[in-house]
Amino acid sequence: MPHPDGSSAVSAREAFSQARRHLPPSLAVAGKLIGRGAVEESAEGCRVVLSDGRVALDFGSYAVTLLGHRHPEVVAAVRGQLDRLPTASRSLLNPVATAAAAELVDYLGGGLRRVYFGLNGSDAVEAVVKLARMATGRTRIVAVEGGYHGKSLGALALTHHHRYRAGLDDLLTGVVHVPADDADAVRRATDDGAVAAVLFEPVQGENGVRPLDVDVLRRWCADAHAHGAMVIADEIQSGLRRCGERSVALAAGLPVDAILLGKPLGGGVLPLSAAICAEHLYAPLIKDPLVHTSTFAGHPLACAALPAALAAVEDLAHRGEHIARQMAERLARVRERWPRLVTDVRGRGLLWGLDLANPHLAGQLILDLAHAGLLVSPCMSRPETLRLLPPLIAQDTELAEAFEVVEAALARLPVDTVGKGRSTDGR
């Protein structure tokens, strides 16, 4: 169909046809159900415009749109870079990447001084685990039950959920998963001196928005370091003030050797991730910069977005504190009003999980919310939980609108189905 600017776009009907022919067909089915036959066409701020003219509030997007869609300062920075140098030669030094690295190091306080840039969370996970193994000369990694770190083969070894590991277990070697609440687990796992690193999410997003106990994490850090292992905090979803702090781990005083960031790092405009590392962890790259490379690592457009994104996040930090309080209060009232449907709410900052009585109800609620104009994200490892991820730019009127939609959708759910579904972990 023609656009006012003279460009053309694929019609919704053709998009679904193309998806069935060339992408996983189930994506077409799911997209058609959620969009009621429409596709996303444009977006700005908290709103996504559909091809049929409807508009939806976006409190989902898997935590990418912390600044909403098309934040003007981020867009301007990317557009300016597009007119100068949209891609790098890979032979000459790219000053856009060096400036972004310096900005990121300063943003986290300067204690971790070395940066590796990737395009997504899995890139950062793969890079830092490889570096830890090379730096220590060890191969084993300790991860946490319920953790999610990506689906590429190396990152998948750290991801815990059986759904994504089925049929691949023989390839996912060298990783031990420990219970999230076992303070002594890392000491036991590292006793033999074979562990290269301990990796955890301070807040497990895909596992139903579950903050890990800080005292347990502090003990894990001490035990890992006592046995010569590195400590890595995966904050790809929870960092950059999504959970209130620039870094959840650093704010808690945890002595980590690397922080992993991603999702909103490119301002919701371009894909970008980063591993921000201590010198001793980064040592293999200092010795040989070609030991781990990627064609698009440090891409100029993505790196141009980073300083603008960090500045915008900090300008809105006070707004995030206000939204966090509003979310806690409103979700507590939802839990109190609908006790048979909503079994729990958990969260921190702008990352919240809403537990339904069974996965069927959660799926129905996500669908009903989308039809009523509110987009949220499911939890892939906890199908009974949906995530509410409001952006920092959300106004009070938009929060009120979102919760009106939530309560109206809950009122339509069939209470008589409570207890008929079961979660995938058998609870």
pLDDT bin (cut points 50, 70, 90) of residue 414 is confident
Q: What distance in Å separates the CA atoms of residue 410 and residue 414, rounded to the nearest whole number?
A: 9
Residue 423 domain flag: no
Q: How confident is the model at residue 9 (pLDDT cuts 50, 70, 90)?
A: low
* 327 and 310 belong to one structural domain: no
Please name which of 303, 299, 275 lies closest in space to residue 131, comparing C-alpha atoms: 275
Tell me what the mean pLDDT of segment 356-382 comes to: 96
Question: Using 50, 70 and 90 to split pLDDT, how confident is the model at 380?
Answer: confident
Q: What is the pTM of this model?
A: 0.94
First to last CA, the chain: 48
Contacts 24+ apart (CB under 8 A), 289-297: 291/134, 292/116, 292/127, 292/130, 292/131, 294/118, 294/119, 294/123, 295/90, 296/119, 297/116, 297/117, 297/118, 297/119, 297/123
Cβ-based burial of 358 (10 A; exposed 0-12, middle 13-18, buried ≥19) = buried
Query: Do residues 357 and 289 share a domain?
Result: no
**Six token digits for residue 333:** 């009232």
Which CATH number do you get for residue 377? 3.90.1150.10
- Read off the pLDDT of residues 20-53 as tens digits, 9 standing for 90 and up: 999 999 999 999 999 999 999 999 999 999 999 9
In a shared domain, residues 43 and 93 = no
Give the C-alpha distances (Å, rounded to integers) separating 21 from 27, 41, 120, 223, 352. Answer: 11, 21, 26, 52, 36
Residue where one domain finishes, among candidates 315, 345, 379 = 315
Asked if 176 contacts 140 with a C-beta cutoff of 8 angstroms, the reply is yes
In a domain, 212, yes or no: yes
Residue 350 shares a structural domain with residue 206:
no
Asked if residue 176 and residue 196 are part of one domain, the reply reads: yes
Look over the chain and give the mean of its residue pLDDT values, rounded to a whole number: 94
Residue 24 lies in a domain: no
Tell me if 362 sits within 8 A of 378, measured CB to CB.
yes
Pairing of strands 210-211, 203-204: antiparallel
Proportion of the chain above pLDDT 70, given as a percent: 95
**pLDDT 10s digits, 201-238:** 999 999 999 999 999 999 999 999 999 999 999 999 99
CA–centroid distance for 182 within its chain: 25
Residue 29 covered by a domain: no
Tell whether 282 and 360 lie within a shared domain. Answer: no
Looking at the structure, do residues 93 and 205 belong to the same domain, yes or no? Answer: yes
Q: Quote the pLDDT of residue 218.
A: 98
pLDDT value of residue 417: 63
Per-residue pLDDT averaged across 285-306, rounded? 97
For residue 424, pLDDT beyond 50: no
Read off the pLDDT of each residue in 254-274 and give the average, rounded to a whole number.
Answer: 98
Q: Of the candidates 291, 315, 339, which is a domain's last residue? A: 315
- H or E stretch covering 354: strand 351-356
Q: How far apart are CA 375 and CA 395, in angstroms?
A: 16
Q: Is residue 53 in a domain?
A: yes
Residues 59 and 92 in one domain: no
- Count of domains forming the chain: 2
Q: Are residues 256 and 321 in the same domain?
A: no
Domain end, chosen from 298, 315, 332, is at 315
Do both 379 and 235 map to the same domain? no
Residue 421 has pLDDT above 50, yes or no: no
In a domain, residue 97? The reply is yes
289 and 358 assigned to the same domain: no
Domain containing residue 300: CATH number: 3.40.640.10
Count, in order, helices (H) and strands (E) of the chain: 15, 17
Residue type, 360: H
Give the residue numbers spanning the domain of 52.
38-67+316-417
Q: Which of 8-12, 92-96, 143-147, 415-419 has the lowest mean pLDDT?
A: 415-419
Residue pLDDT, tens place only, 64-73: 999 999 999 9
Q: What is the full DSSP assignment across 101-119?
A: HHHHHHHTTSSS-EEEEES
Please write the tens of the pLDDT for every residue from 81-115: 999 999 999 999 999 999 999 999 999 999 999 99
Which amino acid is it at 150? G
Domain identity same for 287 and 385: no
Domain assignment present for residue 192? The answer is yes
Asked, for residue 47, whether it belongs to a domain, the answer is yes
**Amino acid symbol at 43:** A
Each residue's pLDDT tens digit, 118-174: 999 999 999 999 999 999 999 999 999 999 999 999 999 999 988 889 899 888 999
> pLDDT grade, residue 419 (50/70/90)?
low
SS3 378: strand
